[in-house]
A and B are shown apart, each in its own frame.
Chain A
């Protein structure tokens, strides 16, 4: 294990007296990264991963890196091109590799050569879209680069750029900024909106513009720093602000990744770092060279070829001819890094990636915690804890005493934290393990140092989280994946973006593993895999086989977005596959739009009916058009009940004619009969009889089907007949008092107005029962207060007749008959034949002792009734 520690320190260079700069090899992959045997040996070459492809020679290439350990794009460098005669003019290509050198895609730039456009710049957006800008302002944006079939979107930066021609272009996370040959600046802040706008001109007429850089900002406002004349200027859409006056002319300028500072090199080889337009660092080449004690060191001459930020607190400069690299931090401390020739430098949040012809290196400041633990001879608590754990590993008894010493000093907490932080910094798996081991060892003794169980628990979960994140990072850094990230970068990039990258590069299994270990839903990954699978499958593979392959792979996951995959299949022209995939989705709502697209109208109708959501059904009806109607009429089925009902509702809303038309076609006699029999009483004359005739016809078929006699259908005829009779009566009597009444009402009106014969005729014709007729007559008499007639009526009553004395009494009482009239009714009952009846009737009107019951006795009656089998008996006795 001691060797491992030495390994770490070997890559460190002291930075003045305050710390170290580490410069580690990312690729070719060092053996300490992984515990498995590495498949990438010494022979690192760019673009070798694909079979038979020629490796990319960086000598003839321009190189553009995407931040966050992302992809690298290589474009032919035209300035170094040797004219080859006889070779047909081929399309320009952008070769895209991972940082581990794997070629993932050759993006063909269609139409570049034929239009005599020259590629000026290639860059990457924040979401890894590749942007290619030509000298005529033609901009191509490629998404899903690395998937093997990226899609292109193109637009122009505007006529001004086209006419003037571009001199220099920078792509930043959301947009692009370009300098024309006339030194005008044009920018696009957002690739979605694509609205080119002009920035202010640097306020120095006639002065030469040397270079510029975009200042990253959170607000989204495009802001650039321009080296103009012998000054620098901050320029945005509205104004230009000069600073560093007279220090130039500057040949290189770079904004820090957080946009707070600006680094620049002038033609006198002095490196400046500005913060808020003030100089914080000013260091000349001579000063920097003085600090170097290596005798073989050769001071470079001339201005540096590359200048970039290394993290947010330091810059690195590289001289191509002497292959020397200088590291300067914002406090002015500097050191030379023995990295050799560098092709390009990609700034990161916490360091810088050096791309070399034979490898990739990562340079960064070593954080204090790592120095504490890993610096040889360190006696900081972290280092002691680490030592103690190492001793334990060697079964050395000194381990315990060392540990106890830390506890005694009260440094255990700090020691554990330092070890964890150092582990987070480390790239080497074995060192990560040894540091976490040390931290855990320390934590085991935490109860000795503190009794705060809550914070201990928190620390425990933190260790698990750290270990999980490190595992992910280690996996991503594997050469076949090639996404070297640090913990800091992981935090700023976020897991979803990483998963997206993995999916684009086709590393679905790793993405799934990460997703599951972090407890995220894998839906998106499954969807992307499904889409990729469909796109990648050759057209001659049958839909069924492809379907089986998809299901076989995805069936283990319960949340597969089948509809979205089906949609993709449909876009790729696999209709049958799409229809099979739709079936797998759990939500009908998602299935319906696709079913309608695939022509599965019948399925759509059936499924939406079964699901029963009126909203979905409505959409099916609207989108399915007359087809739905036709289908329902041609093959009626109980399954379609839901759709049928909504269709009826829709037709009803649209108007009676359509509604009835549909009902007639559907042979829905029930509803038709209901509709017409409702219309009948509402209308008059001809329309009424039409309605009644319709109602009759439909009721007849209903009643015939149910074998329920013909009562209702014949009633429709009777209704018309009654209307005729009423019309006749009104005509003959000259009063409009009959229409609108029922049979009983008409009879009553007749009796009231003395048309007794007509009344009898009507009662007979409409088969009114004798009892009802008698009651109507009685009612009419009572209404007319004709008590003499009532008494007369009473006297003619038949004991077995339709009407009984009690009925007469009830009507009389209900119409407030005077006492003498009631008396007359009672008197008409023969006391000899029916004594009880007579006395009961007498009692009910209070003629004898028995008073009419009050409320309480009535309820007594109800209450007593409850519980006996015949509820009604007692209820009625109490009357």
Chain B
């Protein structure tokens, strides 16, 4: 088990222990009220059956449904527990729900369990609602949900909307606090790097939290975190707008993979367990689609071959190995074959290929806008059209006025006037805007300087890739490239070509045990380079605003192939793709 896997396991174990311990401390039969978006993530930490064993006899969401309160009496529930994120909206919804519950049944005891910290706000709101006397406030000091062996998420899905559309920086404090708690568990990182305005604010907050803690600042641990690297989602808006072409990415884009589950639409049935527990998914999830196909085919062939020819002459050990292989891999092989077929079917459709072509053209800076209009006329999903527009805008730093007006007009005409609000929201978020001046965009410079596109005459082999271009069929995600640079010995330079705010901080304590952070210079890290060759650094990559499956795959690839000399752990506010990102912004 490597360091990152240990970390996520411990996070999960402690989070679980805290939740169950808190539930146990509330005696008797209880109803657990959750935010709708937190039901699935909670399942990753503590399964519903386990929660039932700890006295949860009823689950409900914070959506106001008068009928639910009648069930309290029927099920003999005397206590209602609100598991709520320490965030104004969640607390408000819990408060409204509690008020409804209390009106229906004056005998219920109310418990508010806040994650990951207590908030005075909760008490004030419940007091205003006249419930403070009947409510007890508890808190659980964890909020990181481990999604897989090296990915943890805060499940803050509205971060981008709050930051970009509503100009509400409140969530940044929550992220900083969670990162600080992580350091309390696993030791202070020695170096913090941040790119982007929000990341820099978080880094500043981390410094302030350290100063406030004074002597109680978390010490650095021998096997703990070495580096924290923060990056705003907005630094690279190109990548999420492109279609992910890894197996996991495609499942997310086309079939709606979430928390290892695909919720069946219509007649298709629900698929679950698409995570590390599935040996095949663990193997092929990060691969390019056709690479995954090839792997499945060759594995099937291998089994066939063994059964046909070698089985007769095999000794007991070889047979045993074969049987265990069978049990481990073969049982889920049909599922993956059918999923691959299903994906293949969708990818063959004219819409998918056309969008692929447009994406490629935009990245190549050679696009016929008529193709984009066509996607609208041909009735593509509104988000996929908006994705193309945002991609164009991100690559070229704006859309020329003529095209911009046609795109907006046609979009409103085609999809309805409710999209006036959508476009306006995206404009507020600066994802769509008119190109003001004719200057070369940062992306076009970065294409060559960062090696984002595969070089001429050197086709990437997506089945046995050498570099991260495979994840987007020839485009190496800019975010991954930036993270790769940050993981290297010299790290990010504070002078950023694209004008993103960048910070580098060396987190230290002085002789008296008080934090004494300084700005990290490039030279100081080079001094430790000799150390790095011996020990792999444990690096936490933080995506403020979300990360895509394919980006995760590429970062794992970089670490596995030794392109970065680190153990990588990824922390994010949520997992997203271009469509979910836009949907959250617009809603």
Contact = CB atoms under 8 A, between A and B. Distances in A.
A645 B218 CA distance: 31
Interface in B362-379: 363-364, 366, 370, 373-374, 376-379
A868 interface: yes
Given A865-B474, A870-B366, A769 B169 contact: no
A645 B378 CA distance: 40
A850 to B, nearest CB: 16
A847 B337 CA distance: 31
B168 A711 contact: no
B290 A863 contact: yes
A406 interface: no
A868 B460 CA distance: 10
A879 B119 contact: no
Contact of A614 (B170, B356, B412): B170
Interface in B192-238: 201, 205, 208, 211-212, 214-215
B44 interface: no
B399 to A, nearest CB: 11
A716 B420 CA distance: 8
Contact of A715 (B120, B420, B427, B457): B420
Contact of A769 (B162, B364, B410, B417): B410
Contacts of A614: 87-88, 119, 121, 170, 173-174
A619 B121 contact: yes
Interface string B490-516: 000000000000000000000010100
A711 B360 CA distance: 29
A680 interface: yes
Contacts of A771: 370, 373-374, 377
A617 B423 CA distance: 31
A448 B290 CA distance: 77
B167 interface: yes
A280 interface: no
Interface stretch (A96-104, A328-336, A365-373, A736-744): A736-744
Interface stretch (A208-216, A379-387, A667-675): A667-675
Interface in B158-172: 162, 165-170, 172
Contact of B414 (A648, A772, A872, A875): A772
A869 B456 contact: yes
Contacts of A612: 169-170, 172-173, 176, 201, 205
B456 A867 contact: yes
B420 A772 contact: no
Contacts of B413: 742-744, 766, 768, 772
B434 A708 contact: yes
B88 A646 contact: yes
A677 interface: yes
Interface in B330-388: 344, 347-348, 350, 353, 356-358, 360-361, 363-364, 366, 370, 373-374, 376-379
A680 B473 contact: no
Contacts of B124: 618-619, 622
A558 B512 contact: yes
Nearest to B357: A872
Contacts of A674: 165, 421, 424-425, 428
A764 to B, nearest CB: 12
A612 B124 CA distance: 19
A302 interface: no
Contact of B120 (A615, A648, A649, A775): A615
Interface string A612-634: 11110111001000000000000
B25 interface: no
Which range contains the number of A residues in contact with the other chain?
A: 35 or more
B416 interface: yes
A559 to B, nearest CB: 5
Given A645-B169, A649-B168, A865-B473, A772 B457 contact: no
Interface centre among B89, B290, B469, B514 (most CB of A within 10 A): B290
Interface in B403-442: 405-406, 408-410, 412-418, 420-421, 423-425, 427-428, 434
Nearest to A745: B416
Contact of B474 (A558, A772, A866): A866
Nearest to A871: B360
Contacts of B417: 680-681, 715-716, 718-719, 722, 742
Interface string B446-470: 0000000011111111100000010
B121 A868 contact: no
Given A646-B88, A742-B414, A866-B459, A559 B214 contact: yes
Contact of A744 (B89, B414, B469): B414
Contacts of B555: none
A681 B420 CA distance: 10
A870 B64 CA distance: 53
B239 to A, nearest CB: 16
Interface in A521-560: 521, 558-559
Interface in B465-481: 469, 473-474
Contacts of B173: 611-614
Contacts of A743: 412-414
Given A742-B417, A866-B459, A711 B377 contact: no
A761 to B, nearest CB: 14
A719 B344 CA distance: 40
B126 interface: no
A858 interface: yes
Nearest to B201: A612
Contacts of B344: 855
A864 B414 contact: no
B170 A617 contact: yes
B149 interface: no
B166 A671 contact: yes
Contacts of B92: 653
A589 B357 CA distance: 54
Given A587-B212, A744-B413, A775-B377, A615 B86 contact: yes
A497 B344 CA distance: 76
Interface string A830-863: 0000000000000000000000000100110011
A69 interface: no
Interface in A717-767: 718-719, 722, 741-745, 766-767
Contact of B423 (A650, A670, A712, A772): A712
B357 A678 contact: no
A695 interface: yes
A556 B364 CA distance: 61
Contacts of A708: 427, 434
B289 interface: yes
A196 interface: no
A600 to B, nearest CB: 19
Contacts of A648: 166, 168
Nearest to A643: B170
A709 B405 contact: yes
Contacts of A587: 212
A872 B417 CA distance: 33
A867 B457 CA distance: 6
A646 B421 contact: no
A155 interface: no
A772 B410 contact: yes
A432 B174 CA distance: 57
B456 A769 contact: no
Contacts of B469: 866
A642 interface: yes
Nearest to A675: B421
A862 B356 contact: yes
15 contacts: A559-B214, A612-B172, A645-B166, A670-B428, A677-B424, A680-B420, A715-B417, A741-B416, A742-B412, A744-B414, A771-B370, A771-B374, A772-B414, A775-B378, A871-B361
Given A619-B121, A642-B169, A742-B414, 10 more contacts: A622-B124, A645-B162, A646-B88, A677-B420, A775-B378, A779-B379, A810-B378, A862-B356, A871-B363, A875-B356
Instruction: Kindly list the 8 A-B residue pairs having the minimum CB-CB distance in the complex, ordered from nearest.
Output: A867-B459, A871-B360, A645-B168, A719-B417, A742-B416, A866-B474, A681-B418, A872-B357
